[in-house]
């Protein structure tokens, strides 16, 4: 990084002058030292939300112990005003709680679209020429080609990886970062050029394709697959 900085500053001095080059050096130093602080707001929000969640959980357990809720989880089918009413009156709207519980189970079985435009419509399926027969298309976000065993993981708790495995999942977030040490490539159902998995795979030099519709359903755990992070497709070689 220091060598690259000197090259950039030297180029700036030759083309833009000493004054602009000095400003560039100062800006590079500033961003190298303080870019990480952009994560602080998100960190403190999550910490605060955890405090809220702990307080709500304690409240739910107290209400269940008093018989005002049948179980602590009932609290999460109430909005804030309804919870405040329950705390004042000790009476829950059981038909509403049961209706929302049924709705939640129904919604949980649905598969949301990868992308919805502002007019409510989704994009047409991606059709590209020159790809292998049966290839699953997506967006190539980190270049490279790799073959390996697919590990289809639906939650971080299931992510037991071996060296060289290709991770296939719905999406990743910062809590998944330690998994990237072992894998040789990444396939996700959702994502774009600046989502977590895309950024981390580029940093680690791993091929990655995101936005592969139904990847966790069409690719089975243990399949041998080929991943092309430049062309943006996944090919199932052996089931």
Spatial separation of the C-alpha atoms in residues 185 and 163, rounded to whole Å:
11
Q: Give the residue numbers marked as catalytic.
A: 196
* Contact between residue 12 and residue 20 where contact means Cβ atoms under 8 Å apart: yes
CA 169 vs CA 63, 67, 156: distances in Å: 37, 40, 9
- DSSP strands (E only) in 79-215: 136-137, 139-142, 145-152, 166-169, 185-188, 208-210
Spatial separation of the C-alpha atoms in residues 227 and 141, rounded to whole Å:
12
3-state helix, strand, coil in the chain (%, to 5): 50, 15, 35
């Amino acid at each position: 990084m220091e060598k690259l900085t000197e090259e950039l500053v030297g180029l700036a001095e030759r083309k833009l002058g000493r004054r602009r080059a000095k400003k560039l050096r100062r800006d590079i130093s500033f961003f190298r030292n303080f870019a990480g602080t952009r994560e602080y707001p998100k960190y403190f929000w999550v910490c605060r939300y955890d405090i809220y969640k702990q307080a709500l959980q304690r409240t739910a357990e107290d209400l269940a112990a008093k018989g005002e809720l049948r179980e602590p989880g009932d609290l999460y089918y109430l909005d804030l005003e309804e919870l405040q009413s329950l705390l004042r009156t000790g009476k829950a709207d059981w038909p509403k709680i049961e209706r929302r519980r049924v709705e939640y189970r129904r919604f949980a079985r649905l598969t949301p679209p990868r992308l919805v435009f502002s007019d409510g419509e989704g994009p047409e399926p991606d059709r590209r020429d020159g790809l292998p027969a049966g290839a699953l298309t997506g967006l190539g976000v980190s270049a490279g080609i790799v073959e390996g065993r697919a590990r289809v993981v639906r939650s971080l708790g299931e992510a037991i990886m071996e060296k060289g495995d290709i991770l296939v999942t719905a999406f990743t977030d910062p809590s998944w970062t330690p998994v990237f040490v072992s894998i040789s490539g990444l396939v996700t159902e959702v994502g774009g050029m600046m989502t977590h998995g895309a950024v981390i795979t580029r940093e680690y030099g791993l091929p990655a394709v995101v936005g592969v519709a139904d990847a966790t359903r069409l690719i089975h755990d243990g399949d041998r697959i080929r991943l092309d992070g430049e062309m943006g497709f996944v090919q199932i070689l052996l089931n």
